[in-house]
Amino acid sequence: MHEFWSTQPVPQGEKEAQEGPLEKKTVDDVPKSPYPIASVLEWWVPDVLESEDDLRQIYELLRDNYVEDDDSMFRFNYSHAFLKWALTPPGYVKEWHVAVRRKNDKSVVAFISGIPIDIAVKPSAGGDAEVRKMCEINFLCIHKRLREKKLAPILIKEVTRRVNVLDIWQAVYTAGIVLPTPFTSAQYFHRSLNPEKLVAIRFSRIPPQYEKFQNPMQMMKRNYAVPNAPAVRGFREMEAGDVPAVKSILNASLAKFSVAPTFTEEEVHHWLLPREGVVFSFVVADSNNVATDFVSFYSLPSTVIGNSKYNELNAAYTYYYSANTVPIKVLMGDVLSAAKAKGFDVVNTLDILDNKEFLQDLKFGPGDGNLHYYFYNWGYPIVQPKSVGLVML
Ligand code: MYA
Ligand code: JJ1
């Protein structure tokens, strides 16, 4: 059934009970040279931080070949600045950016990335979470012309080797498809901001109930209108001076989930300070200008495949937050206003974190996509998405 995954240290079925490592090895057991690859191909480590040209090559592979929805109408189009941000957090390992090129013309045909992450996992029996250094895998992509040639297992084995040589034995990753074996499965939800464009590109439809109105689109626009200023007093963009407070309130909020990252100050600086066109972060400041609450979102446009009027869908995705003095539905309401003001067409989210608290009131509706969460070499019971505090980009 799964020629590759059946050979890997992942739970092979939902019933597998073991909690913790599924396989134990030492660095001595790990090959010190790269996994063999077809003679016309070669391994390549792009320098995404220092070389704009290397970054552009990875960007273009993903722009043309990365994840699409089930009907191939939209394809993720992560920006250059976004990819640089996503791939170079504190302590990142350059060799974990694994690309494959054709030897003859050096064209990039495949990519997979790993970044370090500290994940707190709670034992199902209760008690304190264990914080483990893991590798977060993302951006696995094979050029459309090289699909179904078993290249993906080769990339996965090579990135595993490069992680294992540094004495790290676990990974976390997400995928839109079911593989052996998710520890949770989350559902996507969407909040229209620009219903006219969303209908034009067939991202959404005019609901049948609206046909009774004389002008259904006008009614839809009215339904999805948002205030143009924030409702919360003290709501402002996050600044460098907020890093210590945000670190402390965010780690405290994430501590209740079964699976969640823990952040150092350096990581809060990297992941959560505003970056133009990439990540948008806000705090609620008290009368002493100290952050009491925090909320953020990131920009991930998608290419609209084959529409003559629009090339791009501008989507904002909800990111981390810590709601303390105001309910999350109120904070997220201000996110809708901020995202609308910045020209986003839609806000996307998942039913992880405490997101279910705001979905209905803020008029999010279910999408047709799912996001399955996985560990590599870590047995874990199946949990509900609301027990997950990890947001993957
Ligand atoms: S998820 C996003 C994945 N990318 C896309 O969906 C982009 C568009 N699609 C493609 O580029 C290709 O179709 C991909 C497969 C690359 C997905 N995750 O080479 P193949 C298995 C894991 O002939 P292709 C993300 O980035 C498949 O079941 N495995 O297939 C997280 C089969 O195995 P088996 C996948 O279609 C990635 C085998 O590959 C996925 O040409 C996490 C066939 O290979 C998938 N998304 O290429 C990776 N899709 O026979 C795991 C298919 O057994 C990381 N397959 O069923 C593991 C941890 C590693 C580090 C460990 C450190 C300790
Ligand atoms: O965006 C998604 N679906 C959209 C478009 C569907 C087009 C036809 N397939 C959707 N739209 C409905 C919106 C509507 C707005 C008003 C309220 C009701 C809802 O459902 C989906 C998510 O739903 N996205 C995808 O399928 C993209 C892939 C998701 C998996 C990502 C895997 C990433 C792995 C890397 O870590």
CA angle 390/391/393 to nearest 5° reads: 140
CA 174 to ligand 2: nearest atom: 36
**103 alpha carbon – ligand 1 mean position (Å):** 23
Distances (CA, A) of 46 to 60, 76, 111, 261: 13, 21, 10, 27
List pLDDT tens digits, range 273-284. Answer: 999 999 999 999
Q: What is the pLDDT of residues 193-203, one digit of tens each?
A: 999 999 999 99
Q: Using pLDDT thresholds of 50, 70 and 90, give the confidence band for residue 181.
A: very high
The CATH number linked to 67 is 3.40.630.30
Give whole-number Cα distances, 340 to 192, 278, 304, 306, 347, in Å. 10, 15, 20, 25, 9
The answer to whether residues 245 and 103 belong to one domain is no
How far apart (Å, rounded) are the C-alpha atoms in residues 141 and 54?
16
What is the distance between the alpha carbons of residues 377 and 386, in angstroms, rounded to a whole number? Answer: 23
Query: Is there an atom of ligand 1 within 6 Å of 8 CB?
Result: no
Same domain, 174 and 193: no
Q: How far is CA 307 from CA 29, 74, 203, in A?
A: 52, 10, 11
pLDDT in tens, 206-245: 999 999 999 999 999 999 999 999 999 999 999 999 999 9
Cα 21 to averaged position of ligand 1 atoms, centre (Å): 22
- For residues 288 and 324, membership in a common domain is answered with yes
**Can you tell me the distance from the alpha carbon of 257 to that of 275, in angstroms, rounded to the nearest whole number?**
27
Q: Are 184 and 380 in contact (CB under 8 A)?
A: no
- Tell me, yes or no, whether 333 and 258 share the same domain: yes
- Catalytic residue positions, numbered: 393
**Cβ-based neighbour number of residue 50 at 10 Å:** 10
Contact 371, 185 (CB under 8 A): yes
For residue 368, the ligand closest to its alpha carbon is: 2
Tell whether 174 is covered by a domain. yes
Q: Please check whether residues 21 and 170 belong to one and the same domain.
A: yes
In a domain, 82, yes or no: yes
CA of 200 to the centre of ligand 2 (A): 16
Contact between residue 284 and residue 326 where contact means Cβ atoms under 8 Å apart = yes
Average pLDDT in the 133-143 region? 99
Whether residue 191 has its Cβ less than 6 Å from ligand 2: no
pLDDT at 16: 81
Q: What is the pLDDT of residue 335?
A: 98
Share of the chain above pLDDT 70, in %: 100
For 243-266, write each residue's pLDDT tens digit: 999 999 999 999 999 999 999 999
- For residue 100, give its domain range: 5-178
Report which protein residue has its CA nearest ligand 2's atom 14.
204
DSSP 312: E
What confidence tens digit (pLDDT) does each residue in 340-383 have? 999 999 999 999 999 999 999 999 999 999 999 999 999 999 99
What number is the average pLDDT over the span 152-157?
99
State which of 124, 155, 178 marks the end of a domain.
178
Q: Which residues contact 140 (CB under 8 A, 6 or more apart)?
A: 111, 112, 152, 155, 156
Instruction: Tell whether the model's pLDDT for residue 144 goes beyond 90.
Output: yes
For residue 248, the 8-state DSSP code is: H
Same domain, 155 and 279: no
Asked if the structure places residue 393 within a domain, the reply is no
The structural domain count of the chain equals 2
User: Tokens for 50?
Assistant: 């220092």
pTM for this model (two decimals): 0.99
pLDDT digits (tens, 9 = 90+) for 12-52: 999 888 899 999 999 999 999 999 999 999 999 999 999 99
Distance 152 CA to ligand 1 centre (A): 5
The Cα 317–Cα 339 span in angstroms is 10
ipTM surpassing 0.90: yes
171 touches ligand 1 (CB under 6 Å): yes
Write down the pLDDT at residue 110: 99
Is residue 392 one of the residues assigned to a domain? no
Look over the chain and give the mean of its residue pLDDT values, rounded to a whole number. Answer: 98
Share of the chain above pLDDT 90, in %: 99
| 55 — pLDDT class (breaks 50, 70, 90) | very high
Q: Are residues 197 and 111 in the same domain?
A: no
Give the SS3 label for residue 17: coil
| pLDDT of res. 17 | 80
